[in-house]
Structure 1
Amino acid sequence: MSQSQLSRHLTLLQATAINMTDMVGIGPFVVLSVVAEIMHGPWFLYAWIAGALLSFIDAMVWSELGTTFPEAGGSYNFLKESFGPKTGKLMSFLFVWQTMIQAPLVIASAAIGFAQYTMYLYPLGFWETKAVSGMVIILIVFLLYRNIETIGKISVALWVGVVVTMIWIISGGVAQGHFLEPIKHINDGFELNMAFAAALGAASVKSVYSYLGYYNVCHLGGEIIAPQKNIPRSMFISIAGIAVLYLCMNISVASVLPLAQIEQSQFVISEFIQQIAGPKTAMIATILILWIAFASVFSATLGYSRIPYAAAKDGAFFKVFAKLHPTKNFPYVSLLVLGAVAFGFSMLFKLKEVISAILAMRIMIQFIGQAIGLLALSKRKGRDFMKWKMPLYPIPVILAILIWIGIFISTGRSMMLAGLGVTLLGMIIYYLKTYTKVLPYTYSILTRFIR
């Protein structure tokens, strides 16, 4: 080969493992208490069901686009192809623009959560906590600095740890003999009104965060074996598996700990294990939770590193990001830059700030944008153009758009404005890049500097 190329070596098992490890992470362990506090009643389980339903519906959109355009970069290609030559360039640029901000936020959120949960094992000061989160990101970049075959094997090993830990947590609640009690009382005091709808919306912002990653396989589309079959399968298997694990974990915890304790706890799973098996076992459980958090950072960083690479290879981003490692064939410049930005974010932000910012920043372009793009593509090319077709089209697409709009509103005014501001700034930069000589000149200087 005269030029390094991405190669298709990821199997269905490995793709599913990458998805599931990205989805779980530290999210459900930190967010469980937040969701319970927002809902403030045994019906907090509905927020986790809502997150699963949204993920399943949205995965249909990703499946159609992912199988039709199975290349590195995922949404970058979807937006570019769906909206046509002119608008597609703008939308795909905006996606890469917001990815360079929100992807490091996702990576940083998992690293911050890792450091936060470490405090159950050992009390950490402010700077010690920042040091832990920073070291997690450095180690992740080190492990990802290798070929995709090795990464696939590492992903499966990390995924096994994730599944074993979740099953152990769930079985602990089952063994207590009260596992079904939270389900029996899920509607105690329940009233379907505007207050419940508002609480469900706010709680769903947090629960959806814990499901994000079901589409990670689409960012690795150029490295998946038989993508037309394995991309949809890996997403639906991941969502179904994670939804069952999340619901069972929440039910298990609620069958042992009182709701008031769940709502106020910073280490709810560790306290749950301590209640049923003692402090030493709780420490082991905490170590396994940290394993899961680490696995999530690993998987998320892997997927996101392919997006700037895909854009640069297409001529829409700095050319230096299109470089592949000469012997290991992975986008090393993209990996190193995202890792460096994520390291900086992990030093600056707190976890709760990051979660809402992640959703607000990506909903408009990535989720709503590509759903609208699928409608436009289907109208322009016809439904036979799609390599995988969702049932009941276009109902799932319309539902996905409406639900994402609701989630966007639920992030709050400040986060909505921040998301809109980032998008507007991206549009200005795109205009300067495309129609003036200001950014091309800056681009050439930065490229020489990075080299």
Structure 2
Amino acid sequence: MSDSNAVPTSLIRGLGLIAAISIVVGNVIGTGVFLKARVMTCNVGTPGLVLTAWIVAGLLSLAGALTYAELAAMMPQAGGEYVFLREAYGSRLAFLYGWMQIFIAKTGSQASVAVAFAIFLNVLVGGALDHQLFSLDLFGRRFSLGPLQLVALGIIALMTLINCAAVAISGRVATFLTGIKITLVLGVGLGAFLLAPGDWTHFSASDMGGTCVGVEETARMGLAGFSAAMLGALWGYDGWNNITLVAGEIKNPQRNIPLALIGGTIIIILLYVFVNAAYFYVLTPTEVASVSPNSSVATEVTRRFLGSLATGLIAAALMASSVGTLHTSILTGARVPFAMARDGLFFQSLAKLSSRSRVPTGALIAQAVWASILTLSGSFDTLTDYVIFGSWIFYGLTTSAVFALRRRLPHAPRPYRTWGYPIVPALFLLATVWLLVSTLLTAPLRSLIGLGLIALGWPVHWYSSHRQRP
């Protein structure tokens, strides 16, 4: 009898090494590489310290990648960090991580990137999208709908539709979009070095009275300034870990996941340092610090060799970067509710796979619906700011799982072992503690509200776990 109508129960390992590296690079490189140099220069004052912050933050991210690689090669399953936390600390903590990703972190990030895409498109078309179709007051908030919101909703829907196809197709799309990102970053850097008038003496100069609009005096110079620059750089590297969420769909995961995590992070470090060095070759530190917040350092640098074409080019580059990040975020994010549903801790409809593409289409659609609601509400930036503190708590707990599982399961197969263990994961944990303390001191209310939003998942976990019991 034919089994063609049987419900599929397993994912397909359709992502090769190049696709896996593309997901790492494509998810990390967003708009920060074009925008962050101004604030970081205001924080520390000199090109040398800006580049040092990018390098140190990159090495810390690499330490995290080296650690995550052991866990992902050991447990190459959909859900990544959710699975690692479940095996190390139990379902309750793992559920809270998943709740944060579904409720705020992933979907809020997707809403933010989709709106950014619409804003950059609006710049490219000369502000033609900048009007409202109608607005509505609801529950004390004003909800408006216009072409900007429609474009944002449309790009979420389009990227979700692409990810509903076979994962191999999503991998090829990720490779293509990441290739565009890398080309744009290299293009800005090479154009600056080869075509723009520059001076190597800029690297020995310092900021001498740059305007630094919007940068607090307390986050300028000294240890406080370098800490602020490091925070900005670490946000710029955020997302290197997301490849673990699709570990259940990577070919030869014991080999390819470590290579993708480590190789992808190294590529990002090199690109970030290269393009930031190009900025300072063309502009003095004072000129970088004085760039308007409504523009970007990349635009000002590109204008030196492309003239008036620079604004449109950088807007197109930011659009391409945004759509690439959105694609990989949708691809990886849907695997968390899928894994939770498989464990019986979330809506069972999200555990189903498409009979044709063998991807979790239910989880993808639910994720798109919630991200769209956040897009229309306009609350995504506030929500994602709230959970930054909680996100780094889970980064630290996931890294500490290496120590917990080595002690509890010393003889379990480990195709890849963390290079530099225990020093490398310990360094990442120390950096995580420093980041958490810094965030708690500078934004205590925001941090506590974020923890409260995550804690809302506790009664949901209690209900879900008790519903399973006879």
Q: Does 1:115 align with 2:118?
A: yes
Specify the alignment match of 1:290 in structure 2: 319
Instruction: Name the SS for the 2:78 alignment partner.
Output: coil
Higher mean C-alpha deviation, range 177-186 or range 142-151: 177-186
* Partners of 1:398 and 1:383 in 2: CA distance: 22
**Count of aligned pairs between the two proteins:** 430
Q: Does 1:420 align with 2:457?
A: no
Pair 253,151 (structure 1): closer, same or farther in 2 beyond 3 Å: same
Specify the alignment match of 2:142 in structure 1: none
- Which of 393, 399, 407 does residue 421 from structure 2 map onto? 393
Higher mean C-alpha deviation, range 12-21 or range 395-404: 395-404
Specify the alignment match of 1:373 in structure 2: 401
Higher mean C-alpha deviation, range 264-273 or range 154-163: 264-273
Cα deviation, residue 169, structure 1: 0.5
* Partners of 2:435 and 2:17 in 1: CA distance: 31
Pair 32,331 (structure 1): closer, same or farther in 2 beyond 3 Å: farther
For 1:27-426, list aligned pairs within 5 A. Answer: 27-42=32-47, 43-83=49-89, 88-100=90-102, 101-121=104-124, 122-123=126-127, 124-125=130-131, 127-175=146-194, 176=196, 178=198, 180-185=200-205, 196-257=222-283, 258-262=287-291, 264-349=293-378, 353=382, 356-365=385-394, 367-382=395-410, 385-411=413-439, 412-426=443-457
* Partners of 1:425 and 1:413 in 2: CA distance: 19
Instruction: Name the SS for the 2:77 alignment partner.
Output: coil
Instruction: Name the SS for the 2:82 alignment partner.
Output: helix
Pair 263,405 (structure 1): closer, same or farther in 2 beyond 3 Å: farther
* Partners of 1:115 and 1:179 in 2: CA distance: 36
Specify the alignment match of 1:446 in structure 2: none
Q: Which structure shows the higher helix fraction? A: 1
* Partners of 2:123 and 2:445 in 1: CA distance: 32
Pair 252,105 (structure 1): closer, same or farther in 2 beyond 3 Å: same
Specify the alignment match of 2:460 in structure 1: 429
Q: Which amino acid aligns with 2:391?
A: R
Unaligned runs of 5+ in 2: 133-145, 210-218
- Which of 22, 25, 28 does residue 20 from structure 1 map onto? 25
Pair 181,3 (structure 1): closer, same or farther in 2 beyond 3 Å: farther
* Partners of 2:289 and 2:207 in 1: CA distance: 17
Q: Which amino acid aligns with 1:232?
A: P
Cα deviation, residue 267, structure 1: 3.2
Higher mean C-alpha deviation, range 200-209 or range 222-231: 200-209
Q: Which amino acid aligns with 2:457?
A: G
Pair 260,210 (structure 1): closer, same or farther in 2 beyond 3 Å: closer
Residues 13, 251 of structure 2: 8 Å contact kept:
yes
Pair 56,186 (structure 1): closer, same or farther in 2 beyond 3 Å: farther
* Partners of 2:459 and 2:307 in 1: CA distance: 57
Cα deviation, residue 114, structure 1: 2.1
Specify the alignment match of 1:445 in structure 2: none
Instruction: Name the SS for the 1:54 alignment partner.
Output: helix
* Partners of 2:171 and 2:265 in 1: CA distance: 20
Cα deviation, residue 432, structure 1: 4.2
Residues 66, 261 of structure 2: 8 Å contact kept:
no
* Partners of 1:62 and 1:113 in 2: CA distance: 30
Q: Which amino acid aligns with 2:414?
A: M
Residues 109, 380 of structure 2: 8 Å contact kept:
no
CA RMSD of aligned residues (A): 2.7
Please list the CA deviations of residues 364-421 of structure 1 after superposition, one character each: whole Å capped at 9, or x if unmatched.
12x0111222211111111764321113312222221221122223332133112221
TM-score (norm 1): 0.87
Pair 202,171 (structure 1): closer, same or farther in 2 beyond 3 Å: same
Cα deviation, residue 160, structure 1: 1.5
Residues 45, 186 of structure 1: 8 Å contact kept:
no
Residues 338, 351 of structure 2: 8 Å contact kept:
yes
Higher mean C-alpha deviation, range 122-131 or range 266-275: 122-131
* Partners of 2:44 and 2:384 in 1: CA distance: 18
Pair 358,333 (structure 1): closer, same or farther in 2 beyond 3 Å: same
Higher mean C-alpha deviation, range 106-115 or range 6-15: 106-115
Specify the alignment match of 1:8 in structure 2: 13
Instruction: Name the SS for the 2:36 alignment partner.
Output: helix
Pair 355,169 (structure 1): closer, same or farther in 2 beyond 3 Å: farther
TM-score (norm 2): 0.84
Q: Which amino acid aligns with 1:3?
A: V
Cα deviation, residue 219, structure 1: 0.9
Residues 209, 355 of structure 1: 8 Å contact kept:
no
Higher mean C-alpha deviation, range 73-82 or range 201-210: 201-210
Q: Which amino acid aligns with 1:76?
A: Y
Pair 70,44 (structure 1): closer, same or farther in 2 beyond 3 Å: same
Q: Which amino acid aligns with 1:92?
A: A
Pair 314,398 (structure 1): closer, same or farther in 2 beyond 3 Å: same
Q: Which amino acid aligns with 2:460?
A: I
Please list the CA deviations of residues 245-265 of structure 1 after superposition, one character each: whole Å capped at 9, or x if unmatched.
111112212222312333645
Please list the CA deviations of residues 37-67 of structure 1 after superposition, one character each: whole Å capped at 9, or x if unmatched.
4444433333322321221011122101100
* Partners of 2:155 and 2:202 in 1: CA distance: 36
Please list the CA deviations of residues 185-212 of structure 1 after superposition, one character each: whole Å capped at 9, or x if unmatched.
47999xxx99533223333333222212
Displaced runs of 4 or more, over 6 A? 186-189
Pair 102,333 (structure 1): closer, same or farther in 2 beyond 3 Å: same
Specify the alignment match of 2:216 in structure 1: none
Higher mean C-alpha deviation, range 180-189 or range 284-293: 180-189
Please list the CA deviations of residues 329-382 of structure 1 after superposition, one character each: whole Å capped at 9, or x if unmatched.
1111111111121122223347864663352231112x0111222211111111
Higher mean C-alpha deviation, range 9-18 or range 22-31: 22-31
Residues 378, 385 of structure 1: 8 Å contact kept:
no
Higher mean C-alpha deviation, range 234-243 or range 420-429: 420-429
